[in-house]
């Protein structure tokens, strides 16, 4: 059901963990629906220097979190804000229809983290 | 990693070699149509009759009370719709439970749209219906009680004897979805006052795509599949003779060996449950402590989600299932886990391990070795677990 | 006498070795439940998908338009009830023919009891419906036309292309019961404007107990069997994976070899029909002279009755069938033979010989040797024949 | 479906044929329903000296005709009149339920032939 790429990111997810002194943290989803994504950003000069995630959720939730962190790492904040769920899906070589919502969550988690950063840093 | 440990016998089982062996000549030697009068046909009919006798014997029913279907779902649909339509002048009320299989629940919902009234009895934290609730919900309009024998997720076995008595006293038909029970629990439809019972061969080492509905003689019921005169005019369609033969052999084997099979599974399950509870904190066991299917173990591991657990187990060669929404693509986790009172977030972290014939102590040892690591790994990835480690819970 | 010649391929066929071979590992190796996400389940799902592709290819349909069922009868029931219930605000009229299989006729009668109106088109002496009749019977209320592709008794093939056009122009759903046609006739559901089509594997060297309904994308249809989300939520019940695999292989083989198979059967049938007509007086050939299933031969031998003919043939090792009432235990002979205008007493003397894969010229020679004697012996015993010998007729 | 006895009488029916100068002839059933039985009797001193039958019908129709002729051959007319369909069924070791009507037909055919005899001979 999952592409190889999804399984690869699920089995060896990149950037799992927390950033203690994160510049921005975004958490979306809720436990009731079975998925929560939390993204930590370390930002220097508007560039995402480091990103970590923690996810409670299904295989697709973990894989989309992982790929999303990869896609924004090293990018500028403005570039990262342009991340779409479609780009997440494409980067994973597709997702089953009932799992598309995970890619939406990943997009939202990134945006929430950046918003948090902007708010904290008055941008 | 070529290890493959199958721990999902409630989903389906392989077909036993002895069963397949009886089926094989039916495909191309005794392949006649049982409705035909020539020898090919008569041979096929004899095989169907033999299978019917075996099923009847396993349930203590009469052979003429057994009707072959394409599986448990068709049997459930037939029982509900058939009794509802045939008895609608007598009343329009059906009683069932909140933890039935979808073949019952969705069919009841359909009947509601058609004007029938359905009471969905709640269950306690073990998944048991209450006999008081049942009695209280009976009205003059009640025509059918349909309560499953044993639950497919949490394994809880309902008080079928008592339900049968209540139904009998109230002169209401009693159907039980025994798809998970047949082959695992001794059943006596006469003794237990069961009027209709559904079963499916692939749950007890028979083939997929064949099941049966037991219909007590004299029960008023319409047909579900209309057409030719097969199954004494009650279920149309050329008989699935190889499947029926397989069902017959499988039910005979299962009922012959039921005691030793139960004993074996119970032993393994005790080891499994104790082992998991010792090794993995923040874990619940779902279902009834004693009144449960011998092979069924159902857990909730807090702070993680079922599908990712299953995928990790699969990578270690272990096949299991979960009541998590993510395995089904819906948002709500299993209605059964919600009905026993689990909050959504805990229900999402469920794992069902159902044991069978070929499982060994070593299999359990392997699960006990592999599962704690997987759970820990997922917890370490989970933002919910963060908070726990921080001290609370 | 150990000769066994099977001439009842329209009743059912054996399962071809190549088909069985593909099925075997599914019973105990790839035995997983296709709904499960672990590898056992994914393997099973892949097998089901592959079979779906094969069926789609054989009919020129899309894979997502194929839904597996337990056979032809379930597919017929589903098509009729499903379209009727889903479209009842649009109209309540169904058009079918007088010579449909009971899976259609009895279901239509049931729908009539529920308030639908059904027109049963007559047929001519060859068993053909008239396109004029069809057009004339269409009303504003007509929601479904269900006309069989080829008749199971007399083999007559209906003008499906034209019916498809009429249905399309009138914006009415067109279902065809193609249980006897699939594997024998090239079918293209797109080209022929077919919206729904029933098929059953055991009629083309696949296993019993599995079939399919093709449902054109966008067709409004309710479910027949409700429950789990199998078959994309349209047909509940754990998939009969071995059966489905067998169906897929069988339909692929049948469509690959359709031309040579037809040629072979036609040659044998010509020999059979000519031989019988030369040897046995007072005999009619039923069905259309050209537009008929290649393997179908149907006769009426005057002054004798079908069952006693079948029993005698069986004693000589020949398996055949009859539209006589006595084979079915009713009083009226086959509704098909009556619909083509045969008087009861002649219809009682019918014999259907349906050829298949393994039949040879020698088989036909043997029939031609044995059958005349049997017919003569029964005629000599018949009080009706007395009068003929006396001069009249 | 049929007992061995039925099959035996079906395959080698006794007393098939006609009696040219029969003392009584009975014909029952009709072609429309798929069975006709015709029984010929040769009677001397009220004893059934010879009996023949012709039958159009299914296996059970032929077998019941055959056994019925055997059961009455050599009997007195009065004894033959006592032949019941039940006796026919029993003599054949049973019949499938849907074929019981054939045994009724056999009983009726015998009665019809005897009646014909009585009428012709003013008894
Ligand atoms: C024309 C036709 N329709 C439907 C059916 C029913 O198919 P099945 O017996 O597989 O349910 C048959 C065969 O019995 C048939 O010949
Ligand atoms: C309790 C219960 N009822 C009904 C069914 C449906 O049976 P089947 O899938 O054979 O149609 C199942 C299994 O899937 C079940 O576990």
Mean pLDDT score, C2-12: 91
Q: DSSP assignment, residue C287?
A: S
Cα B335 to Cα B99: distance, rounded to the nearest angstrom? 7
pLDDT at B2: 65
Q: Which of B224, B237, B242 to mutate to test the pocket of ligand 1 (most atoms within 8 A of CB)?
A: B237
- Say what the pLDDT of residue C326 is: 73
Which pLDDT tens digit goes with each residue over C54-65?
Answer: 999 999 999 999
Tokens matching residue C135: 């057009």
Of C72, C80, C352, the residue with max ligand 1 atoms within 8 A of its CB, to mutate for a pocket test, comes to C72
Measured distance CA(A31)–CA(B332) in Å, rounded: 11
Residue with tokens 């899309």: C62
What ipTM was estimated for this complex?
A: 0.94
**Given pLDDT bands bounded at 50, 70 and 90, which one contains residue C392?**
very low
Pocket of ligand 2 (CB under 6 A): B 71-73, 76, 101, 103, 148, 152, 177, 179-180, 200, 211; C 237-238
Q: Is the pLDDT of residue C87 over 80?
A: yes
Q: Which pLDDT score, from 0 to 100, does residue C390 have?
A: 63
Q: B228 CA distance to ligand 1 centroid (A)?
A: 8
Nearest residue in C to D55, CA atom: C382
Interface of C with A (CB under 8 A): 37, 42, 45
* C-beta atoms of B240 and C210 within 8 A: yes
The CATH number of whichever domain residue D113 belongs to comes to 3.90.1010.10
D45-90 residue pLDDT tens: 999 999 999 999 999 999 999 999 999 999 999 999 999 999 999 9
In sequence order, the 6+-apart residues with CB closer than 8 A to the CB of D48 are: D41, D42, D72, D73, D74, D75, D76, D77, D80
Nearest CA to ligand 1 atom 5: C72
Query: Catalytic site residue D102?
Result: yes
Catalytic residue, from A1, A11, A33, A86: name it.
A33
Per-residue pLDDT averaged across C348-360, rounded?
96
* pLDDT tier for residue A34 given thresholds of 50, 70 and 90: confident
A58: annotated active-site residue: no
Q: How far apart are CA D37 and CA D26, in angstroms?
A: 8
Angle at CA of residue C275, ends C273 and C276, nearest 5°:
65
- DSSP assignment of chain A, as one string? ---HHHHHHHHS-SSBS--TT-SEEEEEEEGGGTEEEEEEEEEETTEEEEEEEEEES-HHHHHHHHHHHHHHTTSBHHHHHT--HHHHHHHTT---GGGHHHHHHHHHHHHHHHHHHHHHTT-
B304: left (phi over 0), alpha (psi -120 to 50) or beta: beta
Q: What is the pLDDT of residues A36-80, one digit of tens each?
A: 999 999 999 999 999 999 999 999 999 999 999 999 999 999 999
CA distance B32 to B42: 8
Helix (H) or strand (E) holding C250: helix C241-256
Nearest to B366 by CA among B11, B3, B9: B3
**pLDDT band at residue B3, thresholds of 50, 70 and 90?**
confident
Report the atom number in ligand 2 closest to the C-alpha of C227. 6
Q: Give the mean pLDDT of chain C.
A: 95
**Are B116 and B80 contacting, i.e. CB atoms less than 8 angstroms apart?**
no
Q: Using CA coordinates, name the residue in chain C closest to D17.
A: C381
Distance from Cα A47 to the centre of ligand 2, integer Å: 54
Strands A47-56 vs A35-44: parallel, antiparallel or unpaired: antiparallel
Is B393 a residue whose pLDDT tops 50? no
What does the pLDDT average to over B21-50?
Answer: 94
Q: What are the chain D neighbours of C333 within 8 Å (beta carbons)?
A: 34
Strand partners, B198: B177, B213
Q: Whole domain around residue D72: which residue ranges?
A: 4-120
Q: How far, in whole angstroms, is CA C374 from its chain's centroid?
A: 28
* Chain A residues closer than 8 Å to C37 by CB: 1
Taking 90 as the threshold, does the pLDDT of residue C141 lie above it?
yes
> What are the DSSP E strand ranges found in C43-165?
66-69, 93-97, 117-121, 142-146
Whether the predicted pLDDT of C391 surpasses 70: no
Question: Are B327 and B337 in contact, with CB atoms under 8 Å apart?
Answer: no
The number of helices, as runs of H, and strands, as runs of E, in chain C is 15, 12
B257 touches chain C (CB under 8 A): no
Q: Is A119 exposed, middle or buried (0-12, 13-18, 19+ CB in 10 A)?
A: exposed
Neighbours of chain A (3+ CB pairs under 8 A): B, C
- Residue of B12, B28, B107 with shortest CB distance to C32: B12
Query: How many angstroms separate the alpha carbon of residue B200 from the centre of ligand 2?
Result: 7
| Residue pLDDT, tens place only, B307-318 | 999 999 999 999
Shortest-distance ligand to the CA of residue B225: 1
What is the nearest CA distance from A72 to chain B, expressed in angstroms?
19
CB contact under 8 Å between A61 and B324, yes or no, is: no
pLDDT of residue C323: 86
pLDDT at position C205 over 60: yes
- CA atoms of C59 and C57, how far apart (whole Å): 5
d(CA C278, CA A30): 83
Q: Count structural domains, chain D.
A: 1
A1 touches chain C (CB under 8 A): yes
D34 to C305: CB separation less than 8 angstroms, yes or no: yes
Which phi and psi (to 5°) does residue B352 adopt?
A: -110, 125
Catalytic option among C131, C326, C338, C388: C326
Q: What is the Å distance from ligand 2's center to C238 Cα? A: 7
% pLDDT > 90, chain D? 91
Q: How confident is the model at residue B388 (pLDDT cuts 50, 70, 90)?
A: confident
Given a cut of 80, whether residue B328 has pLDDT beyond it is: no
């Amino acid at each position: 059901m999952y592409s190889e790429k999804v399984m690869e990111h699920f089995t060896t997810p990149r950037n799992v963990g927390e950033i203690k002194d994160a510049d921005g943290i975004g958490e979306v989803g809720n436990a009731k629906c079975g998925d929560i994504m939390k993204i930590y950003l370390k930002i220097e000069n508007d560039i995402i220097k480091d990103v970590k995630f923690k996810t409670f959720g299904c295989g697709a939730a973990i894989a989309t979190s992982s790929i999303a962190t990869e896609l924004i790492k090293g990018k500028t904040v403005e570039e990262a804000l342009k991340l779409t769920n479609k780009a997440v899906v494409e980067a994973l070589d597709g997702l089953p229809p009932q799992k598309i919502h995970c890619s939406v969550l990943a997009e939202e988690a990134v945006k929430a983290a950046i918003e948090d950063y902007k708010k904290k840093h008055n941008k | 990693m070529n290890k493959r440990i199958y721990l999902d016998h409630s989903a389906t089982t392989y077909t036993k070699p002895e069963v397949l062996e009886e089926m094989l000549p039916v495909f191309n030697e005794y392949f006649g149509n049982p409705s035909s009068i020539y020898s090919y046909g008569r041979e096929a009919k004899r095989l169907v009759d033999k299978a019917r006798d075996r099923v009847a014997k396993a349930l203590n029913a009469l052979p003429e009370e057994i009707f072959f279907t394409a599986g448990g779902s068709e049997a459930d649909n037939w029982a509900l719709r058939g009794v509802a339509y045939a008895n609608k002048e007598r009343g329009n009320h059906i009683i069932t439970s909140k933890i039935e299989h979808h073949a019952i629940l969705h069919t009841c919902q359909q009947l509601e749209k058609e004007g029938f009234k359905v009471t969905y009895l709640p269950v306690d934290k073990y998944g048991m219906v209450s006999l008081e609730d049942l009695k209280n919900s009976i009205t003059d309009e009640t025509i059918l009680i349909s309560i499953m024998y044993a639950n497919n997720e949490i394994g809880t076995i309902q008080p079928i004897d008592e339900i049968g008595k209540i139904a009998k006293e109230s002169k209401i038909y009693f159907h039980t979805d025994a798809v998970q029970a047949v082959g695992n629990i001794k059943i006596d439809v006469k003794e237990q006052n069961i009027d209709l019972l559904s079963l499916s061969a692939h749950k007890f080492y028979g083939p997929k795509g064949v099941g049966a509905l037991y219909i007590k003689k004299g029960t008023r019921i319409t047909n579900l599949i209309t057409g030719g005169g097969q199954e004494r005019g009650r279920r149309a369609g050329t008989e699935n003779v190889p499947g029926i033969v397989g069902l017959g052999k499988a039910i005979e084997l299962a009922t012959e060996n039921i005691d030793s099979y139960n004993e074996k599974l119970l032993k393994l399950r005790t080891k499994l449950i104790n082992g998991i509870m010792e090794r993995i904190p923040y874990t619940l066991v779902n279902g009834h402590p004693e009144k449960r299917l011998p092979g069924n173990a159902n857990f909730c591991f807090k702070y993680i989600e079922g599908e990712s657990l299953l995928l990790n187990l699969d990578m270690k060669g272990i096949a299991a299932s979960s009541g998590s929404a993510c395995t089904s693509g819906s948002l709500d986790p299993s209605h059964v886990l919600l009905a026993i009172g689990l909050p959504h977030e805990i229900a999402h972290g469920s794992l069902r391990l159902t044991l069978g014939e070929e499982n060994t102590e070593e299999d359990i040892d392997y699960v006990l070795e592999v599962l704690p690591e997987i759970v820990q790994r997922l917890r370490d990835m989970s933002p919910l677990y963060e908070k726990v480690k921080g001290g609370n819970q």
